[in-house]
């Protein structure tokens, strides 16, 4: 529209190439400096939505109850059982080492070797609580058997820290997320493994902090893969163009954007999480594609005007609006992710938004300027290599011409209908869709370790803490309250997703039973609060230390918790368990019993509670995200193309793409979680670029010819070339990711490739077909 302004800008740039170049170099240097300030690493604190009720609850009780940032170490013997000096010493050593690990909460290291795990001894003289296995390891057979007996008859340890068949012992530790150095931690754990493993002993280690340690461990590999991808794209570019300079320009442009983007992150003091490397790579691919579009057009212009400077100027004018709108819609699609109140996503949105929008400068200013420094392209030679593409595109044109257009649209409508139906029947999982960690391969050391631990100690990896808030101090001593907790335990244990639960009443009952010579029929809660108080008083004497029972109940006996161990942490599992608990709690509160007046059950802390919080936020904002993205994109397109329908037409392929991606992820058991969400939503939004360039070209052609079919054909043939080439480059580029040790990267790579194929089809076949059917006014003008 405002062609004059654009023309003036173009002329300005072309006439002042030196100034522009210097400016670009200066700014790039500025950002380049900040690159040195960035840290590459994960930060668990970023993964949590601060204002979420569950997160707040967890923060409130974390100090006392613990339950998140867990790492479990399992010591397993192949022959015999753990009750021998060698193995018990291993447990002891590992426990001791863990207490001094960086970032560990040393009051939350648990195993049978810790001082705070007590045994109960009742004799004629009274009750004592000597530590289970501290400070000495049993030596004689007799002592060993005594230890064995003590553990087997104690519900708090048997099955939770020593497996039922006594072949495995568990050591657990909790970490302060702010203090974790993943690399250091990873190395320390691996050291323990190598030191303690032998022919008869297997060590398995699992836990969220460790997962991030593995990701960090593979960082070098990740760099190599990213590098390879970039290299592959460059090589492909060269093959396509057969021209060194033609290849150089897009590469340099995208590098400049990269420097600006990373520098920006450094300036803000953000860390870059290795798991989101995928996104910047996407943006780089976009930058490349914009540059390629530019250069393609440049060659074309050169063919016509035969003046390099003029050609450059013309190209700027021609691609200004499509390029600008494409880049801005990219940016908007990325920025929208910031509405989800999770710090990691916010940071990612901000950095990548800046990165993506900086492409404006690198493509519309740097690109032309650089070209001006280079010798003009030789048209003939470059034309040659594209023969293959030409033939391909001719075929594509026919797919959307005439009657075929209707066929295409019909097919798409059917597909969308199908996707919609499938979405209802097999909805996409929010959270993890696979057991263990979906970030790594099932046969990775981490996942096999976790599976092993789950074999012997099912669910201990995935604790859900249901907080029991008493109305007043000493509330937890009331038998009604304790019975209510036991009832809850029974209810929740009936779920197939729950493997076991642990709570204070069990501890009480164990001690109670001791008063009656361990007679099993005395494994009960005492009749009144006074008696409970007596037991509790006894438990705090006889050698106990402050904080011994923190895991179960606070000092004033006002708050307690029920730890529910879940079979795995897949999104569906978490959903079931939380929903069941919610229903139960609601019913409980409705009833006006003594118990419900004395206590409140509060969901939910611990690892599973936090996971649910994240999943819930993603679920909440999921549809808003895509809807906003589509609307914004449509608005921008309307603005740039000046009409109402361009927006709707252009987002049509995106709309279908979204369904497509969702189905693909559901099919491949990829859950929508904090790591996959940015990739999925950006991958969808980015497809609009192709459509914009195509549509822009159609409009341009219509200004000359007034024949829509011909205009579309030309558009496909020209911009289509760049589009196809970009698409193929991306697809071939991400192939290397399939070899990553990080499953997440491989999956995202394939996802990207698949979505790109879809975008190609969408912009080269669907969009033209729709244009030809609808014959929108803004094009016909």
Partner 1 sequence: MALTKVLLFGAGVFLVCLSAAVTSAAVCDVETAGKIMRMADLYGIDSTGGDIWAVGPKGMIFHTVNMGKTWDLQETGIGNELFSVSFADNHGWAVGRFGVVLHTEDRGEHWEVQQREIADRKPSLYKVQFVNATTGWAVGEWGTIIHTVDGGKSWTSQSLLTATGEGEDITGDESPEEEAALDQPDDEGIFEEEFIEGDEAGDALVSAGDKFLYGLYFVNSECGWVVGESGTIGHTADGGNTWVLQESPQGRKSLYSVYFRDVETGWACGIDGTIIYTNDGGDTWNAASAVPTEESLYDVVLHEEVLWTVGKKGIILSSADGGKTWKFGDNNPVVYYWLIDLVSAEGNLIIAGGHGAVLISPDGGRTW
567 vs 721 by CB, closer to partner 1: 567
Nearest to 171 by CA among 88, 63, 86, 62: 88
364 vs 484 by CB, closer to partner 1: 484
Give me the least distance between CB of 122 and partner 1, in Å please. 7
Q: CA 218 to CA 211: how far, in whole Å? A: 11
Cα–Cα distances (Å) from 674 to 74, 269, 344, 616, 699, in that order, read 29, 21, 8, 11, 40
Cα–Cα distances (Å) from 781 to 511, 563, 700, 705, in that order, read 88, 68, 11, 11
Nearest to 604 by CA among 780, 770, 444, 464: 464
Q: CA 483 to CA 589: how far, in whole Å? A: 15
153 vs 201 by CB, closer to partner 1: 153
Strand partners, 104: 175
Give me the least distance between CB of 158 and partner 1, in Å please. 8
What is the number of other CB atoms lying within 10 angstroms of the CB of residue 310? 14
Nearest to 207 by CA among 509, 607, 781: 607
The Cα diameter of the chain in Å comes to: 108
124 vs 136 by CB, closer to partner 1: 124
Q: CA 375 to CA 356: how far, in whole Å? A: 29
4 vs 123 by CB, closer to partner 1: 123
136 vs 517 by CB, closer to partner 1: 517
Give me the least distance between CB of 494 and partner 1, in Å please. 5
Give me the least distance between CB of 137 and partner 1, in Å please. 22
Give me the least distance between CB of 589 and partner 1, in Å please. 12
- The dihedral over CA atoms of 106, 111, 117, 118, expressed in degrees to the nearest 10, equals -160
Nearest to 712 by CA among 701, 703, 722: 701
515 vs 639 by CB, closer to partner 1: 515
One-character DSSP codes across 459-487: TTTSEEEEEEEESSTTGGGSHHHHHHHHH
305 vs 524 by CB, closer to partner 1: 524
Give me the least distance between CB of 124 and partner 1, in Å please. 5
Nearest to 677 by CA among 430, 391, 318, 331: 430
Give me the least distance between CB of 132 and partner 1, in Å please. 17
Strands, E, within 113-272: which ranges? 121-123, 126-128, 168-175, 201-206, 271-272
Q: CA 194 to CA 616: how far, in whole Å? A: 39
Q: CA 111 to CA 96: how far, in whole Å? A: 10
- Residue numbers at the binding site for partner 1 (CB under 8 A): 122, 124-128, 149, 152-153, 158-159, 164, 483, 486-487, 490-491, 493-496, 500, 512, 515-521, 523-524, 526-527, 531, 534-535, 537-538, 541-542, 583-584, 587-588, 591, 593
314 vs 501 by CB, closer to partner 1: 501
Q: CA 365 to CA 28: how far, in whole Å? A: 13
Give me the least distance between CB of 588 and partner 1, in Å please. 7
178 vs 590 by CB, closer to partner 1: 590
- What is the radius of gyration, based on Cα positions, of the chain? 32
* Backbone region of residue 56 per phi and psi (left: phi > 0; alpha: psi in -120 to 50; beta: other values): alpha
Give me the least distance between CB of 584 and partner 1, in Å please. 6
Give me the least distance between CB of 500 and partner 1, in Å please. 6
- The dihedral over CA atoms of 527, 531, 535, 538, expressed in degrees to the nearest 10, equals -170
Give me the least distance between CB of 583 and partner 1, in Å please. 7
170 vs 708 by CB, closer to partner 1: 170
């Amino acid at each position: 529209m405002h062609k004059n302004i654009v023309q003036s800008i173009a002329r300005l740039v072309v006439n002042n190439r030196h100034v522009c170049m210097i400016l670009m170099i200066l700014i790039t240097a500025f950002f380049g400096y900040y690159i040195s300030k960035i840290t590459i690493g994960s930060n668990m604190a970023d993964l949590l939505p601060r204002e979420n009720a569950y997160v707040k609850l967890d923060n409130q009780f974390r100090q006392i109850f613990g339950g998140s940032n867990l790492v479990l170490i399992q010591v397993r013997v192949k022959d015999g059982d753990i009750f021998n000096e060698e193995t018990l010493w291993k447990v002891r050593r590992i426990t001791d080492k863990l207490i001094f690990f960086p970032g560990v909460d040393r009051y939350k290291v648990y195993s049978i070797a810790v001082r705070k795990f007590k045994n109960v001894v009742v004799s004629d003289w009274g009750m004592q609580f000597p530590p289970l296995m501290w400070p000495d390891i049993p030596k004689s057979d007799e002592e060993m058997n005594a230890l064995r007996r003590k553990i087997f008859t104690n519900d708090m340890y048997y099955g939770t820290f020593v497996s039922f068949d006594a072949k495995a012992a568990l050591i657990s530790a909790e970490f302060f997320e702010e203090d974790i150095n993943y690399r250091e931690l990873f190395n320390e754990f691996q050291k323990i493994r190598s030191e303690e493993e032998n022919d008869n002993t297997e060590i398995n280690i699992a836990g969220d902090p460790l997962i991030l340690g593995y990701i960090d461990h593979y960082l070098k590999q990740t760099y190599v893969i990213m590098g390879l991808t970039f290299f592959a794209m460059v090589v492909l570019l060269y093959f396509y163009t057969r021209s060194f300079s033609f290849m150089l320009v897009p590469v340099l442009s995208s590098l400049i954007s990269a420097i600006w983007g990373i520098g920006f992150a450094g300036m803000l003091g953000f860390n870059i999480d290795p798991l989101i490397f995928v996104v910047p790579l996407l943006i780089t691919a976009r930058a490349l594609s914009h540059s390629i579009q530019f250069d393609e057009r440049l060659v074309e212009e050169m063919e016509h005007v035969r003046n390099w400077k003029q050609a450059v100027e013309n190209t700027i004018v021609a691609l200004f609006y499509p390029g600008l709108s494409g880049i801005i819609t990219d940016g908007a699609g990325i920025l929208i992710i910031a509405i989800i109140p999770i710090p990691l996503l916010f940071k990612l949105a901000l950095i990548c938004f800046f990165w993506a929008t900086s492409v404006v400068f690198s493509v519309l200013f740097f690109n032309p300027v650089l070209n001006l420094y280079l010798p003009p392209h030789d048209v003939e030679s470059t034309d040659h290599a594209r023969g293959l593409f030409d033939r391909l595109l001719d075929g594509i044109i026919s797919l959307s011409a005439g009657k075929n257009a209707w066929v295409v649209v019909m097919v798409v409508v059917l597909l969308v209908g199908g996707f919609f139906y499938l979405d209802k029947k097999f909805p996409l999982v929010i959270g993890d869709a696979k057991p263990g960690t979906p970030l790594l391969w099932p046969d990775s050391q981490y996942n096999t370790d976790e599976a092993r631990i789950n074999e012997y100690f099912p669910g201990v990896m995935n604790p859900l803490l249901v907080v029991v808030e008493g109305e007043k101090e000493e509330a937890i001593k009331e038998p009604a309250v304790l019975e209510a907790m036991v009832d809850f335990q029974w209810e929740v244990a009936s779920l197939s997703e729950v493997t076991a639960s642990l709570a204070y009443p069990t501890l009480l009952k164990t001690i109670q039973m001791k008063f009656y010579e361990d007679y099993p029929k005395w494994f009960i809660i005492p009749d009144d609060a006074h008696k409970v108080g007596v037991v509790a008083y006894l438990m705090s004497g006889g050698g106990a230390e402050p904080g011994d029972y923190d895991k179960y109940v606070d000092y004033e006996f006002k708050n307690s918790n029920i730890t529910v161990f879940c079979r795995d942490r897949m999104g569906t599992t978490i959903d079931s368990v939380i929903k069941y608990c919610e229903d139960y709690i609601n019913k409980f509160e409705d009833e006006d019993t003594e118990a419900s007046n004395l206590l409140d059950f509060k969901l939910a802390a611990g690892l599973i509670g936090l996971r649910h919080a994240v999943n819930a936020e993603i679920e909440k904002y999921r549809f808003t995200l895509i809807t906003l993205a589509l609307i914004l994109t449509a608005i921008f397109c309307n603005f740039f193309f000046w009409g109402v329908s361009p927006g709707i037409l252009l987002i049509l392929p995106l709309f279908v793409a979204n369904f497509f991606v969702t189905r693909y992820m559901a099919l491949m058991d990829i859950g929508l979680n904090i790591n996959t969400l940015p990739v999925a939503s950006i991958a969808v939004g980015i497809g609009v670029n192709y459509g914009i360039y195509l549509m822009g070209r159609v409009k341009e052609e219509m200004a000359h010819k007034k024949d829509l079919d011909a205009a579309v054909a030309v558009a496909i043939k020209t911009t289509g070339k760049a589009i196809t080439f970009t698409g193929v480059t991306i697809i071939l580029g991400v192939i290397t990711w399939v070899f990553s040790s990080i499953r997440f990267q491989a999956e995202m790579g394939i996802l990207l490739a698949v979505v790109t194929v879809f975008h190609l089809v969408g912009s080269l076949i669907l969009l033209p077909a729709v244009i030809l059917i609808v014959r929108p006014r803004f094009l016909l003008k």
